Structure formats: structure tokens, C-alpha cells
Copies of this chain bind each other. A is one copy, B any other.
């Protein structure tokens, strides 16, 4: 948590509102830009990048790096949907490029094992599992 916003601005508010409204989806910076452009409520792209970074630092959204030359994805952190205690993992298909949200108890167990036995605390927010999806196998 490097930075923390000090002012409550219109731009930040409608940005969070938008991200909340599409919770569960993966949104890129340009998605955000285009959305507000269509709405007529333009936000400068530098503001979008700066606010997204700030929101990540504040834990309000997550940032996913899918691929080196794809834009970063952002996703609203729905604290309610974590009530089942299950973490959401991200699987990226190398062939079709689709992104899969996965909740898997066995995988969660493995993370515990990694921590207990190998002293490595895996960060599911940051880790993307690459492979081949159902449709492309």
C-alpha cells in the first residue's frame, strides 16, 4: 500500500462506481476510458491510470497481468463474495486467450501446503495459471 488517496474527487467516485457495477469482470484501462467516453463523462486517461493504481494500493480493486503485451486487467474486490472463504484463481488459456475464474478447494489446500512445507506464501491475486482450457485441449 504505497499511496492513498487524500481527496474525494468526482472522477474517483464514478470510477469506483463503474468498477463495482461490473464486479466479476476483467476491465482494462482502455475499457474504462471508452466507457466514460460513451457516457459523455470523460475522464482523462492519465487520471484513469493514476486512480486505478491508487485503488489497487488501497485494496479496492485487484490488478492482473495476463500477458506481457496485453493491457493489465482490473477487477473490483467484492468483499461479499468472499464470504464463502473461497479464493478465486485465474487461469489463462494459451491458445484461445480466455480467462477462467476458478474456485478450487484442492488448490487452496496446496497453497497451504506450499506455505507449511516450503515456506512460500503464494499470492493468488498476483498469480495467473497458464495452460490450455477445456475447449482448446
Q: Is A120 an interface residue (CB 8 A)?
A: yes
Q: Are B113 and A106 in contact (CB under 8 A)?
A: yes
Which A111-131 residues sit within 8 Å CB-CB of chain B? 113-114, 117-123, 126-131
Chain A contact-residue range equals 20 to 34
Expressed in whole angstroms, the minimum distance between the Cβ of A63 and any Cβ of chain B is 8
Q: Are B126 and A127 in contact (CB under 8 A)?
A: no
- Chain B residues closer than 8 Å to A120, beta-carbon distance: 91, 100, 102, 129, 131-134
With A68-B72, A107-B114 already in contact, the answer to whether A122 and B129 are too (CB < 8 A) is yes
Q: How many copies of the shown chain assemble into the complex?
A: 2
Point out residues on A near B: beta carbons under 8 Å: 63, 65, 67-68, 72, 91, 94, 100, 102, 104, 106-107, 109-110, 113-114, 117-123, 126-134, 137
Question: What are 27 A-B interface contacts by the 8 Å CB criterion?
Answer: A65-B65, A68-B72, A91-B120, A91-B122, A94-B123, A94-B126, A100-B120, A102-B118, A104-B113, A104-B114, A104-B118, A106-B110, A106-B117, A107-B113, A107-B114, A109-B110, A114-B129, A119-B137, A120-B129, A120-B131, A120-B132, A121-B132, A122-B131, A123-B130, A123-B131, A127-B127, A127-B131
